[in-house]
Amino acid sequence: MARQPLVARRAEELLGASVVATSPVAGGDVATATRLRLSSGQTALMKTLPHAPEGFFEAEVAGLAWLDEVEGGVPVPEVLAAAGDCVILAWVEPGAKTPVEAAAAFGQQLAATHTAGADGWGLDHDGFIGRLPLPNRTAGSWAEFYAVRRVLPYLKLARDRGAIADSDAVAVEAVVGRLTDLLPDEAPARLHGDLWNGNCLWGQDGVIHVIDPAAYGGHREVDLAMLHLFGLTHLPRVVAAYDEVAPLAEGWEDRLGVHQLFPLLAHACMFGGGYGARAGTIAARYT
């Protein structure tokens, strides 16, 4: 590994340790990721975003800490240092995505995290989904929260950005009007909030670690819907192990599409493409 002087100096300021070498890490959609080798022999991951929105990395650190509170919950990397422009995490050495045992353990750990619960719908501070603001002010029910804090704000933004056709937007709005009937009552779960395949790191230690949370108190089917939307190796085994620990409510598979509307609309806002049309197609199933 070579050494990027600016990145290395910033890391040294925060860690109080020398950085021997750095190397770029591929895959970051939002921040620039750099692998650090420290003089102590430890390896770390540094994520930087110049002119990051206020509270951006602070929200990530708070989310990781909230998830890490749960004994037996989903593993998260240790936070080594953080500031307004960056965060430094302990490195997770990648491993093979093949062990069924890791998938089963992850399902059990996710169930433990969810059942640890939250104080209410949302969180005591707002967060981010990608670079987009994520409003977390509480609401009286999950159906209300999901409508006014998740679906409708991103539907409006997608419309403003020309990322969803009017017909698809109308289909989504029709589902919003039915959320009270479609969504079952459950206590708020402790959600990762952005649980797609890219945020699940299969470690060489045989453990699946989660990163980049958009954490809040919400319906547990949201995390499961995200996993089904973008896929995960051995997902049926993950779900089976989850269901053994925290049995899912009847009809959860039929509701996956409802809880996929939010991530699809958020992706439409960020990336355009066919995400808006996909949201409309899924919404039409429920009208």
Q: What is the DSSP string of 200-242?
A: EEEBTTS-EEE-S---EEE-THHHHHHHHHH--TTHHHHHHHH
**Which residue has tokens 């453990």?**
207
> Annotated catalytic sites, by residue?
194
Alpha-carbon distances of 268 from 39, 81, 168, 173, rounded to whole Å: 43, 32, 12, 16
Please say whether the dihedral angle defined by the alpha carbons of residues 218, 86, 200 and 281, taken in this order, is positive or negative: positive
CA distance 163 to 168: 10
Asked whether the beta carbons of 152 and 179 are under 8 A apart, the reply is: no
